[in-house]
Amino acid sequence: MPMLGAILTPHPPVLLPEVGRGREREIAATGRAMRAAAEAVAGWSPDVLIVASPHTILYGDYFHIAPGSGAEGDMSAFGAPQVRIGAAYDAPLRDEILRRAQELGLKAGTLGQRDPALDHGILIPLYFLRRAGVDCPIVRMGLSGFSPLAHYQLGRCVAEAVETLGRRAVFVASGDLSHKLKSDGPYGFAPEGPAFDEAVTGAMASGDFLRFLTMDQSLCERAAECGLRSFQMMAGALDGLAVEPRLLSHEDTFGVGYAVALFPVTGKDESRRFAAACEEARRERLARRRAGEDPWVRLARLSLETWVRTGCRLDRLPEGLPREMTGQAAGAFVSLHMDGRLRGCIGTIVPTRENVAWEIVQNAVSACSRDPRFPPVEAGELEELEYSVDVLGKPELVDSPDQLDPKRYGVIVSAGHRRGLLLPDLDGVDTAERQLEIAREKGGISPGEPYQIERFKVVRHQ
């Protein structure tokens, strides 16, 4: 049997009367839409729900699917321990999904579960579904740091497994939208917040799932979105199927985007297979970026690729480099990204080589091979890497955090021999307080310790 359809749901705890205690009325449209979506699913009579949540166990390099025969959870973290929901797991379907994922080369499994309890990203949609009479087993899916295409491919594995085992299945994509919609909201405002919500709700209303797969990662980071990877997996589960898209609601009352959408399957549609178009869009984006690289970035790429392919460092600089690279010394950071996510970053605060060019050569090799957060870059990754090079200005002491601006200045905090540095204009770092907090953590400096603050400007090349 094919997939019956999918629902896309938010998961604000305040939506439940037991938690909201009246405040749920402030997002009444979301509550009505959740009930309508749950009643629609009840009418489809599913055998199983596949539920993807951003708040279940998440790894950067692994898709976690919950093991065991079932689990339960409650809303005690939100002041409502009486809201308790249990769910049996469809173990044969889970195993078939994993078998297909592993055949495809996706890193997925049941290992590494730290907390078996159902998280609120699972509990809140189940709350409404249970009240509508949907009481079937579930498969609990985690997200990962992998690419949009990998999430889509895992969704396709879900659909193929459902077909193989003859299940009547509904995909539940749990996720809020931007957390940066209002200045008086708990997370503040960023212009990317409304832009993200407009783009993603447009995709929901039109059923254009390719937009889920090709959204600008920087915009998503700055919007502080929550559920996009759930939506990408849902899109894969509906690969090749015609749907009737229904955007039931969208609210931003509390400064966070809550959208409810329903996608009943109406048949097959070969034009709605988005993997190839996603891959082509990615290739075109990488080609445009590479064509626009300036000499600073080209030198970082040359140094890194030489090291990875030959095991040797560059022994001479290429000809024709600008005077700014060869005639002055400065600290520099080389940052690597892949699929919009950090893949390595190493740099020097003050110059250690005779000029900026050699500083870049040295730090590009370090970024790909010595960042302790990541394994060394392999040759198969080279075409996927995106580079940025930050050339640091001279640090200057500041007397107060009031003299910082995380968009304009990087920051260095020092306590004795311990130092932590954070570059400026990073996604998700919107306040001086947050900038200092991260820099202290990087330097191993506790909040109560006295520390010195320096700021610096950078020239960013990417």
CA distance from start to end of the chain: 48
Q: Do 438 and 398 share a domain, yes or no? A: yes
Which secondary-structure segment (H or E) carries 396? strand 396-398
DSSP, collapsed to helix, strand or coil, labels residue 109 as strand
In sequence order, the β-bridge partners of residue 65 are 141
> Per the structure, how many domains does the chain have?
3
85, part of any domain: yes
Q: Do 202 and 101 share a domain, yes or no? A: yes
Give the pair of three-digit tokens for residue 393: 């200005």
**pLDDT by 10s per residue, the chain, length 462:** 589 999 999 999 999 999 999 999 999 999 999 999 999 999 999 999 999 999 999 898 899 999 999 999 999 999 999 999 999 999 999 999 999 999 999 999 999 998 999 999 999 999 999 999 999 999 999 999 899 999 999 999 999 999 999 999 999 999 999 999 999 888 899 999 999 999 999 999 999 999 999 999 889 988 999 999 999 999 999 999 999 999 999 999 999 999 999 999 999 999 999 999 999 998 998 999 999 999 999 999 999 999 999 999 999 999 999 999 999 999 999 999 988 788 999 999 889 999 999 999 999 999 999 999 899 999 999 998 999 999 999 899 988 888 999 999 999 999 988 998 998 988 778 888 999 999 999 899 988 889 999 999 999 998
Structural domain that includes position 82: 3-281
Alpha carbon distance 258, 235 (integer Å): 19
Burial class (CB in 10 A: 0-12, 13-18, 19+), 81: exposed
Instruction: Render 185-238 in DSSP notation, one character per residue.
Output: STT-B-THHHHHHHHHHHHHHHT-THHHHS--HHHHHHHT-SSHHHHHHHHHHT
286, part of any domain: no
348, part of any domain: yes
At a CB cut-off of 8 Å and minimum separation 6, what does 351 contact? 329, 330, 331, 359
Say which CATH number the domain at 78 has.
3.40.830.10
Alpha carbon distance 226, 224 (integer Å): 7
The length of the chain, given as a count of residues:
462
Task: Let me know the angle formed at the C-alpha of 122 by 119 and 126, rounded to the nearest 5 degrees.
Answer: 130
Handedness of CA 363, 365, 367, 373 (dihedral sign): negative
174, part of any domain: yes
Instruction: Give the 3-state DSSP-derived string for 118-156, with helices as H, strands as E and coil as C.
Output: CCHHHHHHHHHHHHCCCCCCEEEEECECCCHHHHHHHHH
Q: Which amino acid is at 24?
A: E
- Of 247, 237, 147, 170, give the one whose Cα is nearest residue 207: 247
Q: Do 85 and 64 share a domain, yes or no? A: yes
Q: Do 187 and 128 share a domain, yes or no? A: yes
Q: Assess contact for 176 and 27: CB atoms under 8 A.
A: no
Task: Let me know the angle formed at the C-alpha of 223 by 221 and 226, rounded to the nearest 5 degrees.
Answer: 75
Q: Do 61 and 163 share a domain, yes or no? A: yes
Alpha carbon distance 253, 70 (integer Å): 35
* Final residue of a structural domain among 257, 281, 305: 281
Q: Assess contact for 213 and 148: CB atoms under 8 A.
A: yes
Q: Do 227 and 128 share a domain, yes or no? A: yes
Q: Assess contact for 170 and 44: CB atoms under 8 A.
A: yes
Integer Rg of the chain from CA: 24
* Final residue of a structural domain among 331, 366, 389: 389
The confidence score (pLDDT) of residue 339 equals: 81
* Final residue of a structural domain among 227, 246, 281: 281
Q: DSSP label at 381?
A: G
Task: Let me know the angle formed at the C-alpha of 134 by 69 and 269, rounded to the nearest 5 degrees.
Answer: 95
- Of 203, 85, 247, 67, give the one whose Cα is nearest residue 139: 67
287, part of any domain: no
CA atoms within 13 A on the CB side of 233: 31
The confidence score (pLDDT) of residue 1 equals: 54
Alpha carbon distance 368, 304 (integer Å): 7
Q: Which amino acid is at 376?
A: P
- Of 106, 165, 178, give the one whose Cα is nearest residue 141: 106
Q: Do 27 and 50 share a domain, yes or no? A: yes
Q: Do 24 and 153 share a domain, yes or no? A: yes
Alpha carbon distance 344, 342 (integer Å): 6
Task: Let me know the angle formed at the C-alpha of 87 by 165 and 85, rounded to the nearest 5 degrees.
Answer: 155
Spell 137-162 as b/e; 16+ CB within 10 A means b: bbbbbbbbbbbbbbbbbbbbbbbbbb
Say which CATH number the domain at 425 has.
3.30.1490.150
What phi and psi, each to the nearest 5 degrees, are found at residue 361? -55, -45
Q: Do 160 and 255 share a domain, yes or no? A: yes
Q: Do 207 and 163 share a domain, yes or no? A: yes
DSSP, collapsed to helix, strand or coil, labels residue 395 as coil
* pTM exceeds 0.75, yes or no: yes
441, part of any domain: yes
